[in-house]
Structure 1
Amino acid sequence: MKALLLQGPGEVSQMRVGEAVKPSPQPGEVLVRIMATALNPVDYKTGNQGNPHWSYPHILGLDSAGIVEEIGEHHYPGRGPCCSNRHRDKACHRQDRSDAGVTAKLTRVLPCRQGSFSA
C-alpha cells in the first residue's frame, strides 16, 4: 500500500511516498481506510526526535478519518464506550505514538482505546 515514509529519526524533511506492508487487524481491532489525515507539529517533533518503539521506515501521523474496511477477530460492536465500529462505518481517531501512523492508505485501530472513537 502507499504510505508517507520516514526513513530514520531526524529525517522528516526527507519523507517520501513509498510502499508499506498492508496491515491486518489484530484481535479486537479494525482496519480503517484513511480518507483524511494531516501532519501536525507534534508529528514533525516526534519524527525529528524518533521513538525507541519505532522500526524504520516508519509511518508518521496521529489524526485521521476514514471508513472501517475490515474487522478483526473478537471485535464485538457495541461493547464499551466507543465500540460501535461495523464494516463501512465512518471512523475518526487519534493514533498512539508507539504505533504506525496514519499517513497511509490503511491503518489498524483499536477502537476502544482512549482517544479513539467513531462518528
Structure 2
Amino acid sequence: MKAVQLAEHGGPEVLRVVEVEEPHAGPGEIRIAVRAAGVNALDWKLRQGFMPGGDLPAGTGFDAAGVVDEVGEGVTGVAVGDAVFGAGRATYAEHAVLTAWAPKPDALSFEEAAGYPTPVETGRRILNEVGVQPGQTLLVSGAAGGVGTAVVQLAKARGITVIGTAGEGNQEHVRSLGATPTTYGDGFTDRVRELAPGGVDAALDIAGSGVVPQLIELTGDPAKVLSIADFTAPQHGAKVSSTSVDRPAALAEAAELVEKGSLRIPVARAFPLAEAGEAQAASQRGHVTGRFVVTVP
C-alpha cells in the first residue's frame, strides 16, 4: 500500500510516499481504509526530531477517518464497512490501524471528521483539567486553530462564557463559534478586563505565544491557567497538559455534539497524500482557521 514515511528527521522534504506492507488490527484495534488524515502539530514536531518518536523509517500521522475493513480480536460494536473517525498510528496511508474510534456522524464528510480526534480530545481534557465550571468565564488564547475552535465550542456547550484571542483576520471566526473575540498584542490584558468586568475564572494557552504571565495576572491564580504549547508555564506556577486521556469518550462526545449542531471544525485546506510535506509546513506556519487534512484517493 502507499504511505507517507520519513527516513530521517528534517523539513517537509523528508516525507516521501512509498510502498509498505499493510498493517493489521491487533486485539482491541480496528483497521480502516483511510479516506482522510488529520494534520497535527505533533506530526511536524516528530518529523523534525523535537520529540522522541521511535525508530526510522516510520510512518506519520495520528488522526484519520475512513471505512472499517478489519476488526481485531475482542472488538465489539463496530463492523467491516462502518464509517468511523478516530486516532491510531501512521494514518497518512491507504490503510491505518486505529486504537480509539467512534462512528462518523452523517453530518460530517470524511475530510471534516479526520480533523476532529486530537482537537476534541485535547479540548475536552484541558477543560476538565483547568476546572472551569458552567456560568464561569474562560479565556482562550489561540481560539481560531483546530484545538481552539474545538475548546471554545465544547466550553459553550457546557454553559461557559468564552473570550477568545486570535489574529485580526480571525476575529469573525471566533465570534461565529460563540466566543467574544479580541486580539493579541499591546493592551491585551486591558482589552480582556473590559470584556470581562466580572473577572476571568480560568485561562487556556493554546498558541504558546508567551502570554502565560498575563493569563495569570488576569485570573489571579496560576492554578487556573493551563498551557498545551508553552512548556515554561510551570516556572510561573501554571500547568502544562500533554498526555491524552480517554479518547473514546472524547470522540463519542464530539459525535453527539456534531449531531446536535453544537460542534463544527472547518477544513481550512485538504492536501493530497503526495503533498503531505506541504500540509505539515502549513500547519507549522500557524494562523489557520480550522484544520488541515491529507486526503487518500
How many residue pairs match? The answer is 108
Structure 1 range deviating more: 107-116 or 31-40: 107-116
SS of 2:84's equivalent in the other structure is strand
Give yes or no for contact 2:65–2:86 (8 Å, CA) kept in 1: yes
1:87 aligns with 2:80: yes
The runs of 5 or more residues in structure 2 that have no matched partner are 102-244, 256-297
Give the corresponding residue for 2:35.
Answer: 35
Q: TM-score, normalised by structure 2?
A: 0.33
Give the corresponding residue for 2:246.
Answer: 114
CA drift at 1:74: 1.8
- Written as runs of structure 1 = structure 2, the 5 A alignment for 1:1-119 is 1-49=1-49, 52-77=52-77, 85-95=78-88, 100-111=89-100, 114-116=246-248, 117=251
CA drift at 1:23: 0.6
Q: Which runs of 4+ in 1 moved over 6 A?
A: none
| Cα distance in 2, alignment partners of residues 59 and 12 from structure 1 | 14
Equivalent AA in structure 1 for residue 100 of structure 2: P
CA displacement, residues 6-33 of structure 1 (integer Å, 9 cap, x when unaligned): 1122354221100112111111211111
Equivalent AA in structure 1 for residue 79 of structure 2: R
Give yes or no for contact 1:3–1:17 (8 Å, CA) kept in 2: yes
| Cα distance in 2, alignment partners of residues 76 and 38 from structure 1 | 25
Comparing both structures, which one devotes a greater share of its residues to helix? 2
Larger radius of gyration: 2
Equivalent AA in structure 1 for residue 86 of structure 2: H
Give yes or no for contact 2:87–2:100 (8 Å, CA) kept in 1: no
CA drift at 1:53: 4.9
Percent identical pairs in the alignment equals 27
| Cα distance in 2, alignment partners of residues 64 and 17 from structure 1 | 17
- CA gap 1:11/1:57 in 2 versus in 1, 3 angstroms: farther
Give yes or no for contact 1:10–1:50 (8 Å, CA) kept in 2: no
Give yes or no for contact 1:6–1:12 (8 Å, CA) kept in 2: no
The runs of 5 or more residues in structure 1 that have no matched partner are 78-84
Q: TM-score, normalised by structure 1?
A: 0.76
Cα-Cα RMSD: 2.3
CA displacement, residues 29-63 of structure 1 (integer Å, 9 cap, x when unaligned): 11111001143333111211165452221111122
| Cα distance in 2, alignment partners of residues 54 and 115 from structure 1 | 22
Equivalent AA in structure 2 for residue 30 of structure 1: I
